[in-house]
Amino acid sequence: MTRRATNRFVNFCISLTLALLVLSVAARADSDDGVVRVKSAVPMTEAIARIKADIAGKGIKFFMEIDQSKLAADAGIKLRPSTLLVFGNPPLGTQFITSNPNAGLDWPVRLLLTQDDNGDVWAVWTDFAWIARRHNIRDRVAQFEMATNVVGSITSTITAK
């Protein structure tokens, strides 16, 4: 590895570590429901674009985008902007399901982007430690930590302008 490539790698690692430290302080499940919320610094459409680009850049499989607001509007119901992104890494996610088949209820990953009454955009997902407790999975600690780090990295793309 060249010195330049090594420096870039070290800078990347430092940036990722700092982003995860900030996120670990800001992104914690607030209650026993396992819901984690991170406030976006960018508008909804940009947040969706950034997250999808980061997912693609990481080589993670993107399954679908569900515009819940549009579905509501089609049913004659007014709903604040709300989009559900579904993605995952099958080699990682299926490890949880092999530990407990009921964990399939929580995989692949679902990340909700929603806008509140004040116009603030939030990324919302289920805390992976909570999922582990929910399904009594104790033999996949490293994998749950990896999933937490990956979603933390993905959502960090929207916490700065």
Domains of the chain: 3-156 (3.30.310.70)
pLDDT > 50? residue 157: yes
To the question of pTM greater than 0.85 for the whole model, the response is no
- What is the spatial distance between Cα 45 and Cα 121, in angstroms, rounded to a whole number? 10
- What is the spatial distance between Cα 53 and Cα 25, in angstroms, rounded to a whole number? 24
Q: Mean pLDDT for the chain?
A: 86
Backbone angles phi, psi at 6, to 5 degrees: -65, -45
Hey, how many other C-beta atoms are within 10 angstroms of the C-beta on 35?
14
Instruction: Quote the pLDDT of residue 90.
Output: 94
Please report which confidence band the pLDDT of residue 79 belongs to, taking 50, 70 and 90 as the band edges. Answer: very high
Please report which confidence band the pLDDT of residue 161 belongs to, taking 50, 70 and 90 as the band edges. Answer: confident
Instruction: Quote the pLDDT of residue 107.
Output: 94
Q: What is the pLDDT of residues 103-145, one digit of tens each?
A: 999 999 999 999 999 999 999 999 999 999 999 999 999 999 9
Instruction: Quote the pLDDT of residue 30.
Output: 52
- What is the spatial distance between Cα 21 and Cα 10, in angstroms, rounded to a whole number? 16
